Structure 1
Amino acid sequence: MEAVGYSSANTGLLLVDPYNDFLSEGGKLWPRAKTVAEQVGLLDHMRQVLAATRARGIRTFFVAHRRTAPGDYQDWEHLSPAQEASVKGQIFARDSWGGEFHPDFQPVDGEIRVHEHWSSSGFANTDLDFQLKQHRVSRIVLIGMRANTCVDTTARFGQELGYHVTLVRDAIAAFSPAEMEATFEVNAPVYAHAILTTEEFLDVLPPCPEEYGAGR
């Protein structure tokens, strides 16, 4: 799998669903994610990837799930099991702490908060593809939650649209080892152009501008 060519000119970091409900103690889904998240070092690796890409001028796109609001999905004909669970549990509820981004993963100036997705794909019924094209991004790097749902589906959709797709496997987590295996051992090898650890990804990034300047 090719793992070179990442630069601020062609690469975008897709930070998927960094909500408190997923990533923070007290979050509604954190008890289900905690074991795998801690096993892979999820939060530290997400921080490392985000810091490294920001330092190199690689733009971040926040790819967030729909924040549950009153009236959502009312009278829908084909409500999925995940959507039913979101309504019942008020997951990522609008105007709630759980529906806010983890404090370490907040947008800064120049970063894009994509229209919220209704199901698992960050591309379906959102402006993600449009935003990426407008910013001349042809390579997408995915981190965040959850491996076998929003990350996997967004990455697959991206490949179908012609993007070069990279998954940073220890900056992504799920609710069980089986879900991680389904993504990284079964699904992703079919569509992803690169599946890397955080260390491997950082190793193939170009030098930071200040590092380049210091070495000239």
Structure 2
Amino acid sequence: MPEAPYAADETALLFIDPYNDFLSEGGKMWPLVKTVAEEVGLLANLRTIMAAVRRSGIQVFIVPHHRSEPGDFACWHHATPYQKQSAAVQVFARGEWGGEWRPEFAPQAGDVVVKEHWGSSGFANTDLDMQLKQHGIRRLVLIGLLANTCIETTAKFGVELGYHVTLVRDATAAFSQDRMHAAHELNGPTYAHAILTTMELLAQLPSRSLAD
């Protein structure tokens, strides 16, 4: 049987922004992603992937957005419109429920929690690249939110740094289907090495024996 392309010793799962505000009823951003999330079966697919990845021995990296605090961008010269909007409603507010992990996706022992990113890239001004290199990682599988912002920007940055990048089209969501279409049908094919469904990804993950 051929070896799975996502070898456990060189593959990382990047779970981007598993916050209550994105993934839980009552979250500030959930109403905006709910329609697409339910159409693609987001939560079920995230659960399935996380369970399979943990069974396979693939390293999990949690890649979190900055948790909002009052006055974050008060003195910034070039805060983006998205940053300003997020600050106005305190998305992922530090110390509040919305800025906590959705419990079933909270980091477990052995997971790496990366330093928080301020923009859309999980690499920019964080320790993600160093952590990946120290773990011997060459391949990245990205899941989480949002498909056309943090997932896309982090994935593109990863490609520029020399990583093999895989997108999982039904393990992410966006504010609309046209944004999902742009992320996976227009932009994704210009940089991603693979764009898979959850089931296609699972078929290529390694299995780990009970003795491992």
Fold shared per TM-score above 0.5: yes
Deviation by residue 1:52-108 (Cα, 9 ceiling, x = unmatched): 011111111000100001331121000100110111011000000000011110111
Residue matched to 1:133 = 133
- Judge conservation of contact 2:8–2:206 (CA < 8 Å) in 1: no
Residue matched to 1:152 = 152
Rounded to whole Å, the distance in 1 between the matches of 2:63 and 2:93 is 16
In the alignment of these two chains, the number of paired residues is 209
Q: CA deviation at 1:208?
A: 2.8
- Judge conservation of contact 2:70–2:90 (CA < 8 Å) in 1: no
SS, match of residue 43 in structure 2: helix
Give the aligned residue type for 1:160: E
Deviation by residue 1:147-190 (Cα, 9 ceiling, x = unmatched): 00000000000000000000111001111001101100011101
Q: CA deviation at 1:126?
A: 0.3
Identity across the alignment (%): 59
| Residue correspondence of structure 1 range 1-216 to structure 2 within 5 A | 5-210=5-210
Rounded to whole Å, the distance in 2 between the matches of 1:94 and 1:163 is 31
SS, match of residue 104 in structure 2: coil
Rounded to whole Å, the distance in 2 between the matches of 1:102 and 1:123 is 22
The unaligned stretches of length 5 or more in structure 1 are none
SS, match of residue 105 in structure 2: coil
Larger CA deviation: 44-53 vs 68-77: 68-77
SS, match of residue 186 in structure 2: helix
Rounded to whole Å, the distance in 1 between the matches of 2:98 and 2:21 is 4
Rounded to whole Å, the distance in 1 between the matches of 2:54 and 2:162 is 24
Give the aligned residue type for 1:109: A
Rounded to whole Å, the distance in 2 between the matches of 1:125 and 1:56 is 30
Give the aligned residue type for 1:172: T
Rounded to whole Å, the distance in 2 between the matches of 1:176 and 1:208 is 38
TM-score (norm 2): 0.96
Give the aligned residue type for 1:197: T
Deviation by residue 1:116-135 (Cα, 9 ceiling, x = unmatched): 00000000000000000000
Rounded to whole Å, the distance in 1 between the matches of 2:161 and 2:182 is 22
Rounded to whole Å, the distance in 2 between the matches of 1:50 and 1:194 is 19
Rounded to whole Å, the distance in 1 between the matches of 2:132 and 2:73 is 28
SS, match of residue 188 in structure 2: helix
- Stretches of 4+ moved more than 6 A in 1? none
- Root-mean-square deviation (CA), in Å? 1.2
